[in-house]
Chain A
Amino acid sequence: MAISLLALVGASVPAFAEWKALVADESVNVAGKLLVATPEAGWNRSSARPSDHGERWTRDGLALNELTFFAAIPDGGTLYHSPYGATQKLPKFRSNMLATEIVELFESSNRILLNSSVFSVDAIEPAKLGTHEGVRFAYSYAAQDEGLTRKGEGVAAIVEGKLYLVNFIAPEIHYFDRDIEEIRQLVATLQLRPPEPSQP
């Protein structure tokens, strides 16, 4: 049993990711062109995606900072790919969820993937994702096999029934505080491009 759990944790970090540097201060399409972000210097985009609707960036390596974008997750979709061999199913997004329920969805999904119950949501407040009304949440957690506390901050909104979410994670020591203001700025200037409603 111990071995399979370990494999499950390992599976959340893709082994074959390739990284591509992003050009500073230039607009870049994110997560299937549904978001447009303008990063500062030093960010890299991973070829390994957290899900079909997501995209992952880092500046110094995932252990030190991780920025994930999720765009247009439909009703019934999950935040992440389920790792191979996982016995627990990830909770599903519902279009009619309340702001606080998005946070619950995020928390439960991450607890399952990280195999960690040391995860606490510390604050939830109204916020904007681009120009859309949404929710900001701050949390902290520990992953298995690490003697480290990480902090995270996410901003999410439901637009035309689909979930958009940006999430930043970094170690509590130094790295989170170093970058969080920059991340908030990036989130504030993010443009959402929800897909056109399909014609009947």
Chain B
Amino acid sequence: MKRLRHNLTVAALVVAAPIAAQPLELLPTSAGYQPKDAVEQGLWLEMDEAEQQMRASKFLIDDPELNAYVKGVLCRAVGTDKCGAARIYLMRTPQFNAAMAPNGMMLVWSGLLLRARNEAELAAVLGHEFVHFEQQHSLKSFRDIKAKSDAITWLGFVPGGMLAQIGLMGSVFRFNREMEKQADMAALDYLSASGYDPMAPSKIWEQLLGEMDVQAKANKSGAAAQEASDFFSSHPNTRDRMEYLRAAARTKAPSSDDGSERYRVAIARWWPRLIDDQVKLNDFAATEFLLNGLARGNWTADLLYARGELYRARGKEGDLAKAEGFYRQSVSKDPALAESWRSLGMLLLRQGKSSEGRKMLRRYLDIAPAAGDRPMIEAMAREPQK
């Protein structure tokens, strides 16, 4: 807490008296900050260009309400005096990631929105990224690389695509261990000071590591095993990380405010698309783990539908029967969930229970009369001519 107060004092000074504060280091999160030397200017230029492209990306989620909500969470976490320095871009990409460029561009992948179970967990990741920005971690990494190699070559390597740009930026999957720890601890200070549950960071990491572990075990192929081992080698002592986050959280004032209801409402409109993106990755083990983590024993109609989709898509011995059970539970919890009726109908048809299957498909069409697949479903739902 002491350290946090110190940080806040510095920030307040900078904002209140920018001229007097000049001998102090102006943080990039302060109003009026400008890159200091040629290296930093070059990096900003690159990033500004990348940001231009990002604005035109087809992957942007340009829902103003959702964007405002995520920005609001960042602002509550790090303070309204600072959050304006970051510009958040929500990207429709089902994997878990977030990344922060040294010029203030923050990318948040939709896979993070799917995996966070409440506002505090989202705030934990946003805060973590923000600290990388504030403490200029990517600039420092860049200077390191420049010291070791020809930076021009290195910049030339970036072809301008979104994925490559993320490689150039700081993200939750990069940086050395010391920087990661700095970001973890400072983000925890932010989180706690803004009244969020301080246990949230360790919880979302626990969930994520569990998922990656399951995925690595399920993928027996050489390439997948290699990727998994790459991940763990860049995250030495992940267990250790969880431990220090948890231990540090215990020194903070406990809070039960995790904003789970606010979070649920804010992403409700997007949730079906996000889970659909995940299911269509054909990644059974990780998705099953994720769904269990999201449900935590409380299987809603949406979650049951998603689980049905997952089992139906895999279609191994016994999977279809399980999927049928999930769909039936789903429609009994929420009879208005059109997609569950549709999938249940298809599943029954495929299993030869044609008469009941056609009935379910008609339920789907009753609820969703304007569906794009209506002509096909109608044909499938039609009783055969005698």
Which A residues are within 8 Å of any B CB, using their own CB?
A: 1-6, 9, 84-91, 94, 96-101, 104, 107-108, 111-112, 115-118, 121-126, 135, 142, 144-149
A85–B207 CA distance with the chains assembled, in angstroms: 26
B146 within 8 A of A: no
Contacting pair A144 B315 (CB below 8 A): no
The tally of CB-CB contacts under 8 A between chains A and B is: 109
Q: With contacts A111-B280, A111-B281, A126-B376 known, is A144 near B163, CB below 8 A?
A: yes
Query: A94 to chain B: which residues have CB within 8 Å?
Result: 315
Q: With contacts A6-B161, A94-B315, A111-B281 known, is A87 near B223, CB below 8 A?
A: yes
A92–B160 CA distance with the chains assembled, in angstroms: 34
Query: A4 to chain B: which residues have CB within 8 Å?
Result: 227
Query: B313 to chain A: which residues have CB within 8 Å?
Result: 91, 104, 108
What are 23 A-B pairs at a CB distance below 8 A? A1-B167, A3-B164, A4-B227, A5-B163, A84-B223, A87-B221, A87-B224, A88-B283, A91-B282, A99-B376, A99-B380, A100-B377, A107-B280, A111-B280, A112-B282, A117-B110, A118-B59, A121-B373, A124-B376, A144-B161, A145-B161, A146-B58, A147-B53
A147–B110 CA distance with the chains assembled, in angstroms: 19
A149–B58 CA distance with the chains assembled, in angstroms: 8
12 extra A-B contacts, CB within 8 A, seeds A1-B173, A6-B163? A2-B165, A6-B161, A85-B223, A87-B221, A91-B282, A101-B350, A123-B373, A124-B373, A125-B376, A126-B379, A135-B376, A142-B59
Query: B166 to chain A: which residues have CB within 8 Å?
Result: 2
Task: Output the least CB separation between A73 and chain B (Å).
Answer: 16
Type the 1/0 row for B139-169, where 1 means its CB is closer than 8 Å to any CB of A: 0000000000000000000011111111100
Query: A126 to chain B: which residues have CB within 8 Å?
Result: 375-376, 379
Contacting pair B280 A144 (CB below 8 A): no
Contacting pair A117 B93 (CB below 8 A): yes
Task: Output the least CB separation between B322 and chain A (Å).
Answer: 17
Query: B246 to chain A: which residues have CB within 8 Å?
Result: none
Q: With contacts A88-B281, A88-B282, A104-B313 known, is A2 near B163, CB below 8 A?
A: yes
Query: B16 to chain A: which residues have CB within 8 Å?
Result: none
Of residues A90, A142, A148, which shows the largest number of chain B Cβ atoms within 10 Å of its Cβ? A142
Query: B380 to chain A: which residues have CB within 8 Å?
Result: 98-100
Looking across the interface, which residue of chain B has its beta carbon closest to that of A146?
Answer: B58
Looking across the interface, which residue of chain A has its beta carbon closest to that of B216?
Answer: A87
Query: A117 to chain B: which residues have CB within 8 Å?
Result: 59, 92-94, 110, 277, 280
